[in-house]
Structure 1
């Protein structure tokens, strides 16, 4: 009798846990996660003061330089003081595209704050699209909907994510294009036969990402390599459309790839021929007097002149990795205020981030050899690993030259978050599910993760904010106090060391 009752309770518990996991894996949950990021980012975009962080003023000034030009090519003699040598910038497409709404609004007499909010909201839309593509990419790799959505929740819960999404910056556009490229590459990698249309779409998205931000190159090249490897290993020629509409789409994709290839040749090959580097230093393009008006260039020059280079060595590399790189990355993943912060203020998520990042990385490394979908996830994971390796080397090189970790920012890890988290969760969930109480354990862990995530995202920024963080002339400033009071009801402050 007792055994039967326990068996029924166990069955109901198991069934309830499976229902929770199915609900978390549904498309409705995906929509809610994307909406959560979008609404929170839009609130910050509509209310935050101009130029709080992430070089927003530089991005706005760069956009305004392009408003004077119908095409993105102009002489180095053109006025570009204060922004560096953007006449030969290897990352120009975002600024050029957004110069059109900027010039239209300026011609119409729209106030500056309203123009900035519109550009921010366009950037929010790009970042929301990026998250949707990230979730789609890991779903396409075959992981469960629950794992994909929880990886998306982890991404959106990082306080830095909505803050980045809410400001004018090219990172959001790069994330969208890289995520879409990864989604397309995974679909080709998993198919029995690469299609010409899918392959060209992957290339087009990747080339566009590189033109938006040159730092996307490691990610894109790895994804291209997997598509090429799939085509070679398949032993069959790529498939072609069977209908007229498909041929039209294929012709359009080929034309787009051809144009993007020419744009890349003009910019990257042209820079190599003229200046010896695909992304040349400002002083190679403009004279030092003009470059000195660009703050980061002047800062780097002064630091370089005052500091003797540290030699490359295992010891200095380990010192930089453990004493500087990892701690600063963790700090900046949780940062939502930067230079405007009070001494100690944050949310529960800021305490959880270092633990989560370290444990997720460890689980991903352990699970990688045995995870059921490791082969399907391989393009996304290896692209992420390559990107992180290049990022570390770049940061390490600058630290050796300047003596300061100027370029170490947690936001640069964002392209790798969803693939690595998905790998770790997928591997761990597969092991746990084999136990008799696997489903209830997974459901409890998933619900706990969702609860913790509610303390992060835009809520972390809102609960930490002060009056000086908001634009006094903003059209939505009247709703700030209402939103802050609402968030204060369910998000608590936890004292942690500030930047």
Structure 2
């Protein structure tokens, strides 16, 4: 307990409390005599600034500006599935329920939309799209504004992550630096600027973690409210992306198991029953009624999609050929790719499981955050990433693993941290199992993309910074040097810089002004960055 308290307060230790009050007069005298007081004070001010709210807002601003640059400048579609998400949002603009039929949508070449499990994102995205279409018919204006909408989702997620990490006893300075590294990964701002349901999950994931921890607190007067939030967020995220289902299930099982162990099943039911029957003020009643209505509606939609699919097709998300004819399914490019690959699976020899996991999957899920991959007028392109940032990402993940291996005992022990770690690990394991199963079904690699882990990064990066700070203890000079190295690396290809330096005119929207401005910007910035 003593070690944990010491670790929690380390970012506010002697470095940040230096200017006066906590320094003995003897120490001040010694520092003056050796001429080191000014440098010590400067170091303390640097740590104080890094740990401030101002620095946090600066990180949010840096992230926002980069994402806005991508959204305003880059060719449509950015990611290969951006058009898919826009078209489905467009299909909902004349509907008031989150359901589609293959015939009414008119876009059945995407897949069996009548039994699709992840349409809530597109239904909700259609709401701002309807408003935008009142003022413009321009496709590019609509796309750019929906990209901004997705950026707002991710920025909101960053605020929720920061709140969650502080509740988990991660100091503000560690949160700030973790999010700075997050903003400096080339892929994060690129994904945030696209029309994609991963951006909605980036917001809902920390909310779901927070709701699990809040339910575990079993605080009188808020038990039912937090339970309704947990159910609502879990259902909503699962209805946006099928792969959230195992995370939802893990969160429910984790929360229920811990509550029963702590309070006993009978006491648990009694606590909820008493709270249900107690008298509430008007504001609390309205809040609970609204949450109850939202939760009920989402449960109905959840059951009408997943429970129906399980009963009829034996799977929560059935394959296209189970619900439609193969001829119809072959209209879809992804199904066509998988179908062709399945016919020739015996012609390829699969690699051993260990080789696949270590040398392919892990590599893709780490170094992938430094890849530069875009769609252009001439098709998809993936030029070589910048050497410094790419090497730093690979080395950084190895260092992060080492830090966790050495400093795990300093990880704060509380419900918020436990929920965040367990659900983040469940996310990684679920994706690994899904990708591994897919690989051995086709003996070919499909959809191994680092962006699917984007919503576990803020936790691991911030926790890694915190543990590194604890392990370095009072080594102020070493911390300053590491901070300087971090800033230098980010200046050599972090975030949008990797894309800007590697960009060509056809990467951008077909607008002369957009292309001219970005070409001039590239010519100005490129000489300052090592290739």
Q: Which moved more, 1:77-86 or 1:67-76?
A: 67-76
1:33 aligns with 2:70: no
Deviation at 1:68, TM superposition (A): 4.5
C-alpha separation in 2, matches of 1:489 and 1:22: 33
Aligned in 2, Cα 1:13/1:5: closer, same or farther, shift over 3 Å? same
2 CA distance for matches of 1:424 and 1:189? 25
Equivalent positions of 1:63-462 (< 5 A) are 63-78=89-104, 79-106=106-133, 108-189=135-216, 195-229=223-257, 231-232=259-260, 235=263, 237=271, 243-308=281-346, 316-338=352-374, 340-341=380-381, 343-346=383-386, 348-373=388-413, 376-433=416-473, 437-454=474-491, 455-462=493-500
* Gaps in structure 1 of 5+ consecutive residues: 495-499
Structure 1 residues 124-172: Cα deviation after superposition (integer angstroms, max 9, x where no partner): 1111112222222111101100111111112111111111111111110
In 2, Cα distance between equivalents of 1:42 and 1:23: 26
What is the count of residue pairs matched by the alignment?
488
Say if 1:378 and 1:10 are closer, same or farther in 2 by CA, change over 3 A. Answer: farther
Which position in structure 1 is the counterpart of 2:19?
A: none
Q: 1:92 to 1:387 in 2, by over 3 A?
A: same
Structure 2 unaligned regions, length at least 5: 1-25
For residues 437-456 of structure 1, the C-alpha deviation after alignment (integer angstroms, 9 at most, x for no partner) is 33443343234323423431
**Deviations 1:303-339 (Å, cap 9, x if unpaired)?**
0111039999xx8220211232122223421123246
| Structure 2 counterpart of 1:62 | 88
Offset from partner CA, 1:260-294 (integer Å, 9 cap, x none)? 11111111101111221111111122221121111
Question: Please, which moves more after superposition, 37-46 or 202-211?
Answer: 202-211
Q: What residue number does 2:8 align with?
A: none
Determine the C-alpha separation between the residues in 2 that align with 1:484 and 1:117: 22
RMSD: 2.9
Say whether the 8 Å CA contact 1:143–1:373 is kept in structure 2: no
Note closer, same or farther for the CA distance 1:346–1:327 as it changes in structure 2 (3 Å cut). same
Measure how far apart 1:7 and its partner are.
7.3
Per the TM alignment, residue 103 of structure 1 is displaced from its structure 2 partner at its CA by 4.2
Q: Distance in 2 between matches of 1:475 and 1:273?
A: 55
Q: Quick check: 1:4 aligned with 2:48?
A: no
In the aligned structure 1, how far is the partner of 2:77 from the partner of 2:85?
Answer: 9
Q: How many Å separate the matches in 2 of 1:318 and 1:269?
A: 35
Does the CA-based 8 Å contact 2:151-2:192 persist in structure 1?
A: yes
Check the 8 A contact 2:150/2:192 in 1, yes or no: yes
What is the alpha-carbon distance in structure 2 between the residues aligned to residue 319 and residue 39 of structure 1?
39
